[in-house]
Amino acid sequence: MSMTLDSIVPFGRSLLEYQRMFNLSPQDLGQRILGCGDGPASFNAELHQLGCDNVISIDPIYAVGGEVIQQRFEQVVDDIIAQVKATPEDWVWRDHHDPEALRRHRLQTLQMFLQDYELGRQTGRYQVASLPTLPFADQQFDLALCSHLLFLYSDHLDYTFHLDSIQELCRVATQVRIFPLITLALQRSPYIDALRPTLADRGITSDIIPVAYELQKGGNEMVVFSQKI
């Protein structure tokens, strides 16, 4: 048995998780960053607390207020943690000690996000947008990060969506990093190997790189896309 979800869920990750998922260096964190599908991640909020306002997070869920986002999180968290508990062999408990620690961390991340959300919306750090079409100029960002959306939800988002989305991310950012490369069923996404040569023919290079973070067993790689200049 593996985890199944009927739709894309609002589960956010922290700054430390982003650093580990995407091999982010201090130099990377100083660049112009687009967080794509960030949802209730605290990545943007924590960097803002550190005095860095160089991140724009986008997600269609930002069309609603913080109370609604919290309600949507509460609607799914019990089921997700129950599925995690039911599949102990599918998880690596290095960054999080156990399912209840994971729940506490996701709730803490949500609270940090909510404390920053309204101010961030007013100042443009949280914007309503979604793939595969983005409202940004060519190469507006140095780095685009996409966490737990593309490839993970391969059963919900088809090949064409992935192809169009990656091309669009490469249009607005010099480099694109996507994590993880496996699906909810812990299988390597079928789109990875199909997309890479197609994108290469269109001038987009790709590299698969191991990362320090692993929660889903086998989910310890990211792919880096770059547009040839």
Q: Which of 10, 135, 175, 16 is nearest to 80 (CA)?
A: 10
Q: Topology of domain 15-227, per CATH?
A: Rossmann fold (3.40.50)
Distance CA 114, CA 174 (A): 30
pLDDT at 116: 98
Please state whether the predicted TM-score (pTM) of the whole model is above 0.85: yes
pLDDT at 136: 98
pLDDT at 95: 86
Residues of the chain with pLDDT under 70: 1-5, 229
Q: What is the DSSP string of 58-111?
A: E-GGGGS-HHHHHHHHHHHHHHHHHHHHH-GGGB--SSSSSHHHHHHHHHHHHH
pLDDT one-digit tens code per residue, 59-81: 999 999 999 999 999 999 999 99
pLDDT at 212: 94
